[in-house]
Structure 1
Amino acid sequence: MQFITQTPGSRALVLDSPHSGVVYPPDFLYTCDMATLRRAEDTHVEKLYDFAPALGVHWIEAHFPRSYLDANRNTNEIDVSLFDSPWPGPVETDPHILSKVRLGKGLIWRTTDDGVPIYERRLSVDEVQLRIAQCWQPYHAAVAQAIDAAHARHGYSIHINCHSMPAIASSHATDFPGEAHADFVVGDRDGSTASAALSGQVCAHLRSLGYDVAYNHPYKGVELVRRYGDPAADRHSIQLEINRKLYMNEQTLALTLGFDSLKLHLRSLVDLLLETDPRRL
């Protein structure tokens, strides 16, 4: 199966969608309800940005679902209770990062956002290592390659890590269960992965379009912006979360009438970023 799509671009802007995959590999062997599992997806995010490659934007998209392997987690964010034998690799010890693992949201998910167990079996070390080799490694290689190419050509890069979020945080999704989310959350890990001026410009543009925008709460950005954002080296990475209520029915996953206008507004944001040189902000 094709695990990722990588479309090279010519501009300084890189977009990636790590959680919109809907191709469920035959070795997944989950036992929870598929409708429940599918609500873990950043459903339709790839459709919201499908105009980008034609503009010369670098595009990377995962086809595997995030519940199979979460490309926005590091390979050491491992829940060792999942395995039928000892995990041979390093395991994260940072208590803040481990809070997500305890919620069942490590590299390999143990539960859905509502706390429903995904498996009725132990996983083998070999099958998880295969998921890392087939999914995580090529996805991260593609993102790194795109950012390197954009930076080499233009002297800077802007990376937008594209996500969606439920209208209300589920019990096992974040550290803030039940919280009503803003229309957008812009995350740069407290200014460590992108310049404050660039993040501020993104927030200001979205607010000018009438949206409620939160900054670094409750999503600051995770592994993909942490790993590739380095504003001091003119490499800027921002995690952008979109509230699903703006464009889809969260129960049926069907697109709603808001999809087209939201897509136009995202196009205006991309157009702005294509004309932005963060070195001059």
Structure 2
Amino acid sequence: MTADLIRTLEGTSALVLDSPHSGTFYPDDFQYAVPLPLLRQAEDTHVEKLYDFAPALGVAWVEALFPRSYLDANRDTTEIDTTLFDTPWPGPVATDPKVLSKVRLGKGLIWRSTDGGLPIYQRRLSVGEVQDRIERCWVPYHAAVAQAIDAAHARHGYSVHINCHSMPAVASSHATEFPGEAHADFVVGNRDHSTSSPALAELICEHLRALGYSVALNHPYKGVELVRRYSHPASQRHSVQLEINRKLYMDETTLAPNEGFAPLREHLQGLVQRLLTVDPRAL
């Protein structure tokens, strides 16, 4: 079943893209208690389609097919909401206040609530079922991302990893620490320049601004676990999280693509082609 939950395509370039939140396959054991249309608002809808050109350019691609609300692959396994369980969680639990702020919002490894604050479950979860989700989803997804980055770095002596996301036009009440904030067209995140060189992040920002987009750097999204875990700029392993405002390409209520989808996809292809020409060692 694990093979059905993750999609990987090998590359030949130094560039790796991954989409941890665009999955639409809801496993049978996901016994949610909210209407599916509300739950689907958690998805980074259509992100995999926006980048579907990438493998043909030699770019490695990793995609989660399971939904973010089932297990968030962009969280560490210690980001556990212990109030979800019917027995004590036996593993380590994060204590970092910044991490705990997201857990309190219901957005840990296993989501407790929707972006609007509605409880996802009407029951307590068992430790065993969450451990099973970790083994079937988190472990192989992270292994696939790590393998793709290692292979790109081995081929070229450097790697550039773009962690692909989308975001609502306006932050919901339980989505971020800035509810109600209207988002820029793009948010580029490298955890305050700790997961990539500042020059690489600025290059991405400048490229997008030249196309007429509004771009924010490290606010309100700095990048989370996937860019943190697999980056090491000093070793020429660069990771950047890229958030796209959903209003650019879709109707956020119906989830249908709008007239902006095709031009946005074209612009993203131009960005990827630009990154394929960039050696971060020379920036």
Residue equivalent to 2:46: 44
> What residue ranges of structure 2 are gaps of 5+ in the alignment?
none
Amino acid at match of 1:224: L
Aligned pairs, how many?
281
Identify the residue that residue 75 of structure 2 maps to in structure 1.
Answer: 73
Among 240, 243, 248, the residue aligned to 2:242: 240
Alignment equivalent of 2:187, drawn from 175, 185, 188: 185
Distance 2:201 2:128 in 1: 40
- Which of residues 127, 130, 155 is equivalent to 1:128? 130
User: Residue 266 of structure 2 corresponds to which residue in structure 1?
Assistant: 264
Taking the aligned partners of 2:228 and 2:134, their CA distance within structure 1 comes to 19
Cα distance in 1 for residues equivalent to 2:230 and 2:179: 29
How far the C-alpha of 1:280 sits from its partner, in A, is 0.3
Please report the TM-score for the alignment, with normalisation by the length of structure 2. Answer: 0.99
- Cα distance between partner residues in 2 of 1:133 and 1:96: 25
Identity of paired residues, percent? Answer: 73
1:197 aligns with 2:199: yes
Which TM-score applies when normalising by structure 1?
Answer: 1.00
* Aligned residue type for 1:179: E
Partner deviation per Cα, 1:96-146 (whole Å, 9 max, x = no partner) = 110000000000000000000000000000000000000000000000000
List gaps (5 residues or longer) in structure 1: none
Counterpart of 2:34 in structure 1 is: 32
Question: How much does 1:229 deviate?
Answer: 1.1
Moved over 3 A (4+): none
Matches within 5 A, 1:84-103: 84-103=86-105
Q: Which residue of 1 aligns with 2:230?
A: 228
Q: In 1, distance between residues paired with 2:144 and 2:275?
A: 21
Distance 2:200 2:231 in 1: 13
Question: 1:170 is matched with which residue?
Answer: 172
Q: What is the letter of the counterpart of residue 73 of structure 2?
A: A
Number of the residue aligned with 1:160: 162
Q: What RMSD, in angstroms, separates the aligned Cα atoms of the two structures?
A: 0.4
Match in the other structure for 2:8: 6
- Alpha-carbon shift at residue 32 of structure 1 (Å): 0.7
